[in-house]
Amino acid sequence: MDLNYAPEDRAFREATRRWFQANTPKVEPKTLAERKAWHRTMYDAGYVGMLWPKEYGGRGATPMQQAIVQDEMARAEAPPPINGLGIGFIGPTIIVHGTEAQKQRYLQKMLTAEEIWCQLYSEPNAGSDLAGLKTRAEDAGDDFFVISGQKIWTSSGPIADWGILLARTDSKVPKHKGISCFLFNMRQPGVDVRPLKQITGSSLFSEVFMTGARAEKSDLIGKLNGGWEIAQTTLGYERGANSLGRVTRYLTAFHHLVRMVKELKRNGKALIDDPVVRAKLGKIFTELEVQRYAALRVLSALSKGEPISAASSITKLSYTEFEKRFFELGVEILGPWGQLMPGSPDDVVEEMSTSSGEPGTFATAYLWSRAGTIYSGSSEIQKNVIGERVLGLPKEVRADRMKG
Amino acid sequence: MDFAFTSDQQLLKSSARAFLDERCKPAAVRLLWEDARGASDAMWKEMAQLGWLGLALPEAHGGSDLGMVETALLLEELGRASYPGPYLPTMLVATAINRVGTDAQKGRWLPAVSSGSARGAVALLDGELSWSPEAITTRASSAGTGWKLSGTKPFVAWAHLADVLLVPARGAEGTTVFLVDPASPGIKQTPVTGMDLATRWVNLTLDGVPVGLDAVLGGLGKGQGVLESMLRMGAVGAAAEMLGAGRRCLDMAVEYAKVREQFGQPIGSFQAIRHKCAEMLLEVENTHAAVYYAAWALDAGADDADLAASVAKAYAGDASRKVCGEAIQVHGGIGFTWEYDLHLYFKRAKALEVQYGDADYHRELITRRVTA
Ligand SMILES: Cc1cc2nc3c(=O)[nH]c(=O)nc-3n(C[C@H](O)[C@H](O)[C@H](O)COP(=O)(O)OP(=O)(O)OC[C@H]3O[C@@H](n4cnc5c(N)ncnc54)[C@H](O)[C@@H]3O)c2cc1C
């Protein structure tokens, strides 16, 4: 056990810190074009696609270096890169399962954010039970499939050029066995993206209607009807860690809270002098710090190439549930001030940050904190996974399993 | 960055588990619950032979020169067994002597602790029931070349078995820590019964207890620093024991949920039970991270070692209470019986919560530090 950072990691951190100090834009990029430009600057400096192999334009870095970059980005309060879904897990999925032609066609432009990607998995009637999806891909004989159906909750849908799509290619076999995975062009006739307004007031996710749209056969990922296995690996990447950066964002928010608590008064005295407030701060900081230790533990395992598979459900459950408690407490301590929303218009924020929410107030962060325990496998689903796969508890009796 | 145990550390842990599974079975713990003194001398000797008592003491004094991580590993296993005895207080006394004691004090006590012939107790709480070293009210009034100590020290764990008592007191020079012979005149010991019979508490009253210059530990008026570092180590140690108690309860709950059937199926297949077990695991794993981070930070002399110790103690207290309590819930009626072993760990965790600074105390330390 040695929790010191290795000398090369410290040196890497120093260099990264200097770069972000020097280059982080003073004015928050607002339009998509501005955000793409900032993304490009980071990419050119080698800070995007850290874990991607060099041959596909990535840095081929270690998990520790990747975590350090995210951590320094959070420390500098730098705007995040865009195309998070693409770079975080769609790209890696193509790297693992894609053909050489697919890699050549898609990876570079994904990394540079010349093309924005979204994830077309969830449907109105297939959320947690994703395998129940109904969008159909019919073999049109020639070189393409015809796609018809509806997706929902699609993040970045309105700005996406491409999507990773799960669709049913065989409806006669058990539900997991008839699904295929496609790379799907969002900019074509027959694709209709309708923004959905979220509880935060912004419209970062959307509905996607596909009627007679086209997916090329050359854009099938993996085997026909082998999409479920691929979805499992993509979910696996999505559950991977933004470990240190997330904690640093919480820490930044905590320091904002402390500043406010020192300034604000209630019952004629500063909040910071109220023993109840002090106890709450101590309790939530305890939890925050434990998130940091747990993140180091995960990083240590990742660095050694240990499989963290099902155990990553513990991490996801832990930080998303913590995040809710953290912002609930912040808003509670702040009282009426905790309710304030920023006046910023929706369309300026294309990407969400799961750790501190949209830039702005505790209120937005508080609202955002309700999302993390729903997407990427809800808390209840994570607990099922932990119970069955980590603790070895018996599977529940489920109607769909009884049908076989 | 390596959060995993070395192979030596793993070996220590598994051999401790094997020893305690054999020698400190629940039945053995129960016998000691009934015992007037509450601990086994034979087991203490065996622990000395295994090298546990000198684990973190210098080789020159019969120890193994290891650190807090190893001590925490052992304490986790001891907590898992609900081991009854003064392991942690003895380690605190010995560590303090090793850190700030005179050569004579080291020579007198360290080999004796390593070999299993001396035990210690720490009288950290004062009559005011404050954990804060500044709040000590026990007096040290000078008398000739020495002092006379007077005051009340409630809830001293295992004082009745101690060969040396560590007693802080306030005098003209400020707060000083004294090594006191429990057989000194003026000391009265009153046993107090808590819910965990594997933790024996004694209320001490000191009425003009004479001590000489050789009893001063770490310098006159230097007590605050000695106490703070002892509280830190005690906090991490207690957190490690609570982790062990929690893990034991989690294991028992999961095993039970696999075999107990109701409504024609194992109760573990009900989400209400499965999700509870998943939440318990989450708490245990987070506690693991907190305990070993803090133990490492103490060994490494990290800047945040004091913060980490408070975090570990505050977190482990809440987490282990929840985990041990939920294990009872998972078991239903059987979990509420005296015969079933769960309450050994449930009570052990609770007894540790109030030692070496309770969660309120540590949270205030944390708040003070992070809002400064
Ligand atoms: C902000 C946000 C962004 C998103 N972005 C995307 C995206 O880009 N692409 C995409 O495809 N999807 C996206 N999603 C959708 C997300 O993956 C789904 O919302 C999620 O899978 C849950 O599905 P559902 O909404 O249909 O809820 P349901 O599955 O209907 O769940 C409702 C409730 O029932 C519980 N439940 C369901 N099944 C079980 C079970 N077996 N045991 C116990 N409890 C159960 C759930 O935990 C939940 O509490 C996003 C969601 C949010 C909130």
pLDDT grade for A358, boundaries at 50, 70 and 90: very low
pLDDT grade for A345, boundaries at 50, 70 and 90: very low
The SS3 call for residue B39 is: coil
Q: Do A383 and B3 touch (CB under 8 A)?
A: no
Residue A352's pLDDT is what?
Answer: 30
Average pLDDT for B262-282:
97
Cβ neighbours around A139 below 10 Å, total = 11
Kindly state whether B358 is in contact with chain A, defined as any CB-CB distance less than 8 angstroms: no
- Ligand 1: residue whose CA is nearest its atom 51: A375
Residue A306's pLDDT is what?
Answer: 81
Which residue ranges form the domains of chain B, and what is each CATH number?
Answer: 7-118 (1.10.540.10), 122-222 (2.40.110.10), 224-371 (1.20.140.10)
Q: Do A301 and B4 touch (CB under 8 A)?
A: yes
Q: Do B289 and A272 touch (CB under 8 A)?
A: no
Contacts of A44 by beta carbon, 8 Å cutoff, 6+ apart: none
Kindly state whether A9 is in contact with chain B, defined as any CB-CB distance less than 8 angstroms: yes
pLDDT grade for A236, boundaries at 50, 70 and 90: low
| Annotated domain spans of chain A | 7-82, 117-225, 242-401
Are B203 and B190 a contacting pair, CB within 8 Å?
Answer: yes
ipTM: 0.95
For the structural domain made of A117-225, what CATH number should be given?
2.40.110.10
Q: Which atom of ligand 1 is nearest to the CA of A119?
A: 9
Single out the catalytic residue among A72, A115, A123, A238. Answer: A238
Kindly state whether B68 is in contact with chain A, defined as any CB-CB distance less than 8 angstroms: no
pLDDT tens per residue across span B103-160: 999 999 999 999 999 999 999 998 788 888 888 999 999 999 999 999 999 999 999 9
Q: Candidates A82, A122, A353: which one to mutate for ligand 1, based on the most atoms within 8 Å of Cβ? A: A122
The SS3 call for residue A125 is: coil
Residue predicted with more confidence, B217 or A27:
B217
Backbone phi and psi for residue A215, each to the nearest 5 degrees, phi listed first? -125, 125
pTM of the model: 0.95
Q: Which atom of ligand 1 is nearest to the CA of A130?
A: 21
CB within 8 Å of chain B, chain A residues 240-259:
254, 258
Angle between helices A63-75 and A275-303 (to 10 degrees): 150
Instruction: Tell me the C-alpha distance between B184 and A374, whole Å.
Output: 64
pLDDT tens per residue across span B222-259: 999 999 999 999 999 999 999 999 999 999 999 999 99
Does residue A357 register a pLDDT over 90? no
Are A164 and A184 a contacting pair, CB within 8 Å?
Answer: yes
Does residue A348 register a pLDDT over 80? no
User: What residue of B is the nearest CA neighbor of A316?
Assistant: B282
For the structural domain made of A242-401, what CATH number should be given?
1.20.140.10
Does residue A201 register a pLDDT over 90? no
Are A274 and A266 a contacting pair, CB within 8 Å?
Answer: yes
Residue A343's pLDDT is what?
Answer: 59
pLDDT tens per residue across span A129-170: 999 999 999 999 989 999 999 999 999 999 999 999 999 999
**Which of B97, B98, B73, B95 shows the shortest CA–CA distance to B17?**
B73
Shortest Cα distance from A9 to chain B (angstroms)?
9
Residue A356's pLDDT is what?
Answer: 35
A2, A5, A397 member nearest B269 (Cβ): A397
Q: Candidates A235, A239, A374: which one to mutate for ligand 1, based on the most atoms within 8 Å of Cβ? A: A374
Shortest Cα distance from A358 to chain B (angstroms)?
25
> Exposed/middle/buried for A174, CB within 10 Å: 0-12, 13-18, 19+?
exposed
Q: Candidates A151, A155, A196, A375: which one to mutate for ligand 1, based on the most atoms within 8 Å of Cβ? A: A375
* Fold of the domain built from segment(s) A7-82: Butyryl-Coa Dehydrogenase, subunit A; domain 1 (1.10.540)
Q: Pocket residues for ligand 1 (CB within 6 Å)?
A: A 118-119, 121-122, 127-128, 153-155, 205, 371, 374-375, 378, 380-381, 384; B 271
Bridge partners, residue B188, by sequence: B205
Question: What is the residue-wise DSSP string for B96-111?
Answer: HHHHH--HHHHHHHHH
Identical fold at A7-82 and A117-225? no
Percent of chain B surpassing pLDDT 70: 100
Q: For chain B, give the secondary structure using H, E and C.
A: CECCCCHHHHHHHHHHHHHHHHHCCHHHHHHHHHCCCCCCHHHHHHHHHCCCCCCCCCHHHCCCCCCHHHHHHHHHHHHHCCCCCCHHHHHHHHHHHHHHCCHHHHHHHHHHHHCCCCCEEECCCCCCCCCCHHHCCCEEEEECCEEEEEEEEEEEECHHHCCEEEEEEEECCEEEEEEECCCCCCEEEEEECCCCCCCCEEEEEEEEEEECHHHEECCCCCHHHHHHHHHHHHHHHHHHHHHHHHHHHHHHHHHHHHHCEECCEEHHHCHHHHHHHHHHHHHHHHHHHHHHHHHHHHHHCCCCHHHHHHHHHHHHHHHHHHHHHHHHHHHHHHHHCCCCCHHHHHHHHHHHHCCCCCHHHHHHHHHHHHHC
Are A174 and A219 a contacting pair, CB within 8 Å?
Answer: no
Q: Based on C-alpha coordinates, what's the Rg of chain B?
A: 21
Shortest Cα distance from B261 to chain A (angstroms)?
11
Q: Counting one residue from A and one from B, how many pairs have CB atoms under 8 Å apart?
A: 158
Kindly state whether B23 is in contact with chain A, defined as any CB-CB distance less than 8 angstroms: no
Residue predicted with more confidence, A256 or B146:
B146
Our answer to whether residue A332 is catalytic in this structure is: no
